Structure 1
Amino acid sequence: MKKLLFAVIALISLQLTAQQDPTSWSTEVKKGSDQEYELITTAVIEPGWHVYSQTTSPENRGPIPTTLSFYEVEEQIELLGINEETGSYREYSPVWEFPVYQFSDAAVFKQKIKVLDTELTYILAEVFFMTCDEERCLRPKGVPLIFKLDPNAAVPPNVADVIETYLDEEKDPILAMAPEVSSFQVKEPQQKEEVQKDQDAKKKNDPEVADQEDKKDRSLWTIFIVAFLSGFAALLTPCVFPMIPLTVSFFTKQSKNRAKAISNAILYGVFIIVIYVLLGTVVTAIFGSESLNQLSTNVYFNVAFFLILVIFAASFLGAFEITLPQSWANKADEKANKGGIVGIFFMALALAIVSFSCTGPIVGSLIVEAASKGGLAPVIGMLGFSLAIALPFALFAIFPGWLNSLPKSGGWLTTVKVVLGFLELALAFKFLSAADLVFQTHYLEREVFLALWIAIFGGLALYLLGKINMPHHGPESSISVGRLFLGLIVLTFTIYMIPGLWGAPLKIISGFPPPLNYAEAPYGVGYTKLEANLELPEGAHLTVHDITAFHDYEQGRAYAQKVNKPILLDFTGWACVNCRKMEERVWSEPAILTMLKTDFVLISLYVDDKNKLPKEQQYRSEVTGKKVRTIGDKWMEFQKKNYQVAAQPLYVIKDKDGNDKGQPIAYTPEADRYEAWLRKGLEK
């Protein structure tokens, strides 16, 4: 109560008569292409005073955020993107008694526009802001601004009156003090040396911002962990496992003392890591980090991945062995005999070559999966994989007594290899499904995909329970208890998938099969699609969970204006696994589903839609410089240009006129957090 009283006094009572003006504002116009311009607004702030960021919320006793309002914006100009700000940072404020986003010394705002009225020579605007020092605040005020598109343009003398009249008619002055927080972007500040530290503090003190910033890091950690576990799986194959005692014994016998043996074994492990990480680096360098991110939606790459994984699976199941040329292994062995550091490196290379028939399919699958994530994912994947393989060699060299506890090589190694073969085959159909979804051919609908997976995992269960055998297996009279338990787990999973043929959601594997609405019977066997019996708005479709959705932004926005509802903009993709997880696990929650059906107009923009745009609508991208030829290219350009993000899913809440409300949010598997974000957007 004390703080609230202080804020009220600071805003109204104490500063009503203040005559100070510690800020001065100026404008600049930069001409772009055609009728596009960049309007630059700069504030010079006297030492000791602060102006507040657009990110600042006036709720909870907060300072008034800076707002830029344009005169007759809808009739004469079109705002392109968001109003970017430079120079803001987060710092504790003695006046407000909590950290706030603010400017010191200078503030710069940049807004790109397109001029709709070709006769327009100047643009009128007003900046509304608040100024405070360390002890007090001045009364919030508005300053008229003039942006001259033509340097020689004649401006009426009563500009301030014109702007003030317009703003009074268009919006309540109180609302002007609480603008939409979403119409901004904080760029890397240039005015303060301490900004980087303040931006780090912003992440630390703002959980939502920190969460958005860390999503990529968490994704890389996931890739690392999966790759690490895959490395252990490769370790348990017939090509690698027997090499552990042989290699460790070699270092122990050839070294003069135990310390030397340990150092050689550790160096051996390091070289294994170097070899595999180098492979990931080469893949990233060849394709480029941005191109890798597009592999998951490229039809031809997905079909190629499908064929590669089927070949890998056949190899693991015993049809043939994939090996590198024997001459490579012989040359590596010759170099290894020379000893020293060079010899140890070639010993590691020889291991990678000789074990390729077992590790190759796993490495190939990891590269395929990591490549679809883009960036450094292939390098991180190979780091995790190689670390899992290298660790045992170093550990057993340090503790050679552990070798006695290792299980003997035998049929169980072949079992591991066969299990991996079945898993590779199941993963292959995920990539074929992605290609089918992108092209919308409906050859591999949900029922067909599930039938294939049921057959594959059913076969794996029968194999583990000893009912079927592989060509490279000898006769087995009994199975181990561990194999029995694993067989029962796989059998349970197989039975779990069967109801999916009749419309069960199967949330455990959501994201892998095609979505619920991409099926022969999306409402279950015997039920017909509601879309045929409903009068949907023009351009709308029934999507997952019978939510009415638009696939075109302008059509969706026009409908939102007609029914006076906010927009939920959904940047998605047919081949996007996380998008399917969100739809099937999060959107299905009753409270969220109700909001999506009744409170929002859903616009789902598929960035991998391969349908061609008409020739007259194709254009050159301002973001990438590439030709925008397909509908998917158009929506990807829209996403990158307005939100500087290329990953899906991305969700944005807009009002009926298309103005952003709040921060966008990406993949959010926590339903309660996603629901809170939706409700917060509705309130705004």
Structure 2
Amino acid sequence: MTAKKVFLFSLLSLFFSINLFSQELEPVKWDYKVEKVSDTEFILVFKANVDKGWYIYSQEQPSEESFAPTTYFEFQDVEGNYQLEGKTSEPDVPTIYDKIFQEEVKKFKNEAVFKQRVTLINKDLKQIDVKVDYQTCDDSKCIPSDFLFNFSLDGSEIVKEDIVIDEKSKQLSEGLNLNVAGWDNYESQDVEGKSYFTIFLLGFLGGLIALLTPCVFPMIPLTVSFFTKSSKDSKKGLFNSVLYGIFIFLIYVLLSLPFHIMDSLDSGILNTISTNVTLNIIFFVIFVVFSFSFFGYFELTLPQSWSAAMDNRANKIGGFVGVFFMALTLAIVSFSCTGPILGGLLGSTMASDASAMQLSMGMGGFGFALALPFTLFAMFPKWLNSLPKSGGWLNTVKVVLGFLELALALKFLSNADLVEHWGILKREVFIGIWIIIGIGLVLYLIGKIKFPHDGPLQKLGKGRITTAILIIAFVIYLIPGLTNTKWANLKLLSGFPPPLTYSIYDKPEEFTITKSLEEGISLAKSLNKPIMLDFTGWACVNCRKMEEQVWTEDNVNEILVNDYVIISLYVDDRKELPKEEQFQYLRTNGTVKDIETIGDKWGTLQTINFRNNSQPYYVLLDHDMNLLNHPRGNTPNKKEYYDWLKTGLENFKK
């Protein structure tokens, strides 16, 4: 495979991969065995059982230029131990058109049996280990996976090096399996996460805001003029401008690549990171620093040598590569303005129940917005005359962003406070600080507060007045949030302030609710009520929206209060389990997960029983762990959610 193919295939894999935080799938289950031919000859048999609608790909594709994935078997410790006789065989099937890769490929549905004949060199060899790397795809998405086979040649016990699970861990791991039954009675429901398009638009909006900062805005006419005037051929200048925009877009998308790598190693790792107390405190400090930078007290820039080196490379190399380094130079020199906005995008995505793909979409939207004007103004250079002149308004934009960064910083401190239950940033305190920040922004806009880079304010412009009025309206909207009344539920902000239950007021719990699985099951039996497992998180935005916008709806509230026992299991609870309850869980891919906190336990329980690790995630069960309806994820439609609860209750009564 050529370097170009490897690069393009990697990008395809990156964007089609769904091994994300939003949902954990395993469409292929492997069976394997050894067929003995003689004392030194064996046939290793690998059988892939593929879920309906999914495919596993051949070891070779018809065309060398194919972008479709291949299945690859890696035979370990071959040298001096055994030799492979010929290639690994596979089913002989005709090629079929693949909707994802848009070409004729060889792939298998339902099942595929692979066989490899081996001859022993070391006659004392008792075990052969083989790793398979493969991708499973349906008609819209792909999952990269691997599996480790341990073949026993003489029937003796398999030795798994470096993986030792004690008896206690085995028993506690088995205890996480609820043996949920009734899956065939209901259709599965895809978990609704944040729309990729919505995330892209939010990133695009962030990019548009970045364009209005002093670091980027003046660069637009300068860069466009450089491309259109420095090229002898106007078409070449236009082409370079378009290429420049494409490279800007790609640079920001590729910044999200490390999160895909982390996500592929452990599908729950983004949740672990986003709810990590230390990380949230670091984000809080960084955002406060960013805000004071925007206020003009100091400048945050990357080392000057970086931009100088990139600029020098761009001048020396020229061509496609030179244009790439020019785009990279822009990303570096504009960091002092784009960094805080990018930090907001990264932080708000990581702080919610999001995935690496959502982060890529957000970064892509940001890069697209940043790149768009450089391309459009190169295509229509006369539009440059319509651009407003740089001036003091750019600094005003920066200061306004500084206030917004300060408000956003509180969200990260709140996440840490919620996870650790410190009680220092209760809901009313959080909202009160937002009100103070809002008042400070209004005072700045009307000229009562000044910052280092502000000049004298001659008169209030329409932009300042309009923005000030909008901020005043927002502050007025926040005020009921300080009270203990029915108006305290600020539904438009659900998920950003702490939940209604995390309050300075003593609020009685309406629902029959518990955070203990055992206690909840026992309570449901004693009350003869069905169970609703509520997989949630302290830092889960959509969980708060469901609780504050859907659960509070009259008919939904009534059925939850009167007819269900709710067991809320917080997957991001970082409180340590007692030592006697801590253990190691052996994943199906052969890796070990340490179950040390309450969140570790509930997150693993969700994955084991429901092959899902998104939040919110709701499961209706009877006392024998039979499903009463298909599980649901985020369901903002109130009628749909009520009908789902009502159907579950009717099935329980039957």
Q: Same fold (TM over 0.5)?
A: yes
Alignment partner of 1:223 is 2:199? yes
Instruction: Write the mapping of 1:395-406 to structure 2, written as runs, cut at 5 A.
Output: 395-406=376-387
Q: What secondary structure, in the 3-state scheme, does the structure 1 residue paired with 2:404 have?
A: helix
Q: What secondary structure, in the 3-state scheme, does the structure 1 residue paired with 2:497 have?
A: coil
Instruction: Write the mapping of 1:259-274 to structure 2, written as runs, cut at 5 A.
Output: 259-274=235-250
Amino acid corresponding to residue 183 of structure 1 in structure 2: G
- Any conservation in 2 of the 1:273–1:387 contact (CA below 8 Å)? yes
Instruction: Write the mapping of 1:246-261 to structure 2, written as runs, cut at 5 A.
Output: 246-261=222-237
- Any conservation in 2 of the 1:181–1:661 contact (CA below 8 Å)? no
Alignment partner of 1:508 is 2:489? no
Alignment partner of 1:317 is 2:317? no
For 1:360, the equivalent position in structure 2 comes to 339
Instruction: Kindly state the Cα deviation for residue 615 of structure 1 after the two structures are TM-superposed.
Output: 2.1
Separation in 2, partners of 1:324, 1:604:
45
Q: Deviations over 1:644-665 (max 9, x none)?
A: 1111111111113332211111
For 2:640, the equivalent position in structure 1 comes to 673
Separation in 2, partners of 1:482, 1:235:
17
- Any conservation in 1 of the 2:180–2:609 contact (CA below 8 Å)? no
Alignment partner of 1:601 is 2:565? yes
Instruction: Write the mapping of 1:201-600 to structure 2, written as runs, cut at 5 A.
Output: 212-213=189-190, 215-216=192-193, 218-285=194-261, 290=267, 291-338=269-316, 339-372=318-351, 373-503=354-484, 504-522=488-506, 529-530=507-508, 542=509, 546-600=510-564
1:653 pairs, out of 617, 620, 623, with 620
For 2:91, the equivalent position in structure 1 comes to none
Instruction: Kindly state the Cα deviation for residue 393 of structure 1 after the two structures are TM-superposed.
Output: 0.3
Q: What secondary structure, in the 3-state scheme, does the structure 1 residue paired with 2:458 have?
A: coil
Instruction: Kindly state the Cα deviation for residue 487 of structure 1 after the two structures are TM-superposed.
Output: 1.1
Instruction: Write the mapping of 1:105-116 to structure 2, written as runs, cut at 5 A.
Output: none
Q: What secondary structure, in the 3-state scheme, does the structure 1 residue paired with 2:567 have?
A: strand
- Any conservation in 1 of the 2:287–2:408 contact (CA below 8 Å)? yes
Amino acid corresponding to residue 626 of structure 2 in structure 1: N
- Any conservation in 2 of the 1:245–1:403 contact (CA below 8 Å)? yes
Instruction: Kindly state the Cα deviation for residue 309 of structure 1 after the two structures are TM-superposed.
Output: 1.2
Aligned length: 467
Separation in 1, partners of 2:563, 2:586:
34
For 1:635, the equivalent position in structure 2 comes to 602
- Any conservation in 2 of the 1:296–1:576 contact (CA below 8 Å)? no
Q: What secondary structure, in the 3-state scheme, does the structure 1 residue paired with 2:569 have?
A: strand
Instruction: Kindly state the Cα deviation for residue 333 of structure 1 after the two structures are TM-superposed.
Output: 2.0
What CA RMSD, in Å, does the superposition of the two structures yield over aligned residues?
Answer: 2.4
Greater length-normalized contact order (CA 8 Å, ≥ 6 residues apart): 2
Separation in 2, partners of 1:502, 1:407:
45
Compared CA separation, residues 185 and 383, structure 1 to 2 (3 A):
farther
Separation in 2, partners of 1:357, 1:506:
34
Separation in 1, partners of 2:555, 2:358:
36
For 1:662, the equivalent position in structure 2 comes to 629
Instruction: Kindly state the Cα deviation for residue 105 of structure 1 after the two structures are TM-superposed.
Output: 11
Separation in 1, partners of 2:262, 2:203:
21
Instruction: Write the mapping of 1:75-94 to structure 2, written as runs, cut at 5 A.
Output: none
Separation in 2, partners of 1:672, 1:105:
37
Instruction: Kindly state the Cα deviation for residue 462 of structure 1 after the two structures are TM-superposed.
Output: 1.9
- Any conservation in 1 of the 2:180–2:626 contact (CA below 8 Å)? no
- Any conservation in 1 of the 2:191–2:633 contact (CA below 8 Å)? no
Amino acid corresponding to residue 490 of structure 2 in structure 1: L
- Any conservation in 2 of the 1:578–1:667 contact (CA below 8 Å)? yes
Instruction: Kindly state the Cα deviation for residue 234 of structure 1 after the two structures are TM-superposed.
Output: 0.3
Q: Deviations over 1:188-246 (max 9, x none)?
A: xxxxxxxxxxxxxxxxxx9x85xx43734x43332221111100100110110011111
- Any conservation in 2 of the 1:306–1:431 contact (CA below 8 Å)? yes
- Any conservation in 1 of the 2:512–2:564 contact (CA below 8 Å)? no
For 2:42, the equivalent position in structure 1 comes to none
Amino acid corresponding to residue 250 of structure 1 in structure 2: F
Separation in 1, partners of 2:191, 2:226:
44
Separation in 1, partners of 2:544, 2:514:
17
For 1:123, the equivalent position in structure 2 comes to none
Separation in 2, partners of 1:347, 1:652:
52
Q: What secondary structure, in the 3-state scheme, does the structure 1 residue paired with 2:577 have?
A: coil
- Any conservation in 2 of the 1:335–1:343 contact (CA below 8 Å)? yes
Compared CA separation, residues 245 and 289, structure 1 to 2 (3 A):
farther
For 2:183, the equivalent position in structure 1 comes to 184
Instruction: Kindly state the Cα deviation for residue 374 of structure 1 after the two structures are TM-superposed.
Output: 2.9
Q: What secondary structure, in the 3-state scheme, does the structure 2 residue paired with 1:663 have?
A: coil
Separation in 2, partners of 1:263, 1:592:
57
For 2:119, the equivalent position in structure 1 comes to none
Q: What secondary structure, in the 3-state scheme, does the structure 2 residue paired with 1:621 have?
A: strand
Instruction: Kindly state the Cα deviation for residue 275 of structure 1 after the two structures are TM-superposed.
Output: 1.9
For 2:172, the equivalent position in structure 1 comes to none
Compared CA separation, residues 181 and 230, structure 1 to 2 (3 A):
same
Instruction: Kindly state the Cα deviation for residue 253 of structure 1 after the two structures are TM-superposed.
Output: 0.8
Compared CA separation, residues 292 and 181, structure 1 to 2 (3 A):
closer
- Any conservation in 1 of the 2:241–2:375 contact (CA below 8 Å)? yes
Compared CA separation, residues 311 and 105, structure 1 to 2 (3 A):
closer
Instruction: Kindly state the Cα deviation for residue 555 of structure 1 after the two structures are TM-superposed.
Output: 0.8
Q: What secondary structure, in the 3-state scheme, does the structure 2 residue paired with 1:651 have?
A: strand
Instruction: Kindly state the Cα deviation for residue 279 of structure 1 after the two structures are TM-superposed.
Output: 1.7
Q: Deviations over 1:449-505 (max 9, x none)?
A: 111111112211222233222211111111211221111001110111111111311
Instruction: Kindly state the Cα deviation for residue 391 of structure 1 after the two structures are TM-superposed.
Output: 0.6
- Any conservation in 1 of the 2:192–2:635 contact (CA below 8 Å)? no
Which protein is bigger by CA-based radius of gyration?
Answer: 1
Separation in 1, partners of 2:343, 2:230:
34
Q: Deviations over 1:492-525 (max 9, x none)?
A: 1011111111131111111111111111115xxx
Separation in 2, partners of 1:461, 1:432:
24
Q: What secondary structure, in the 3-state scheme, does the structure 1 residue paired with 2:572 have?
A: coil
Instruction: Kindly state the Cα deviation for residue 277 of structure 1 after the two structures are TM-superposed.
Output: 1.9
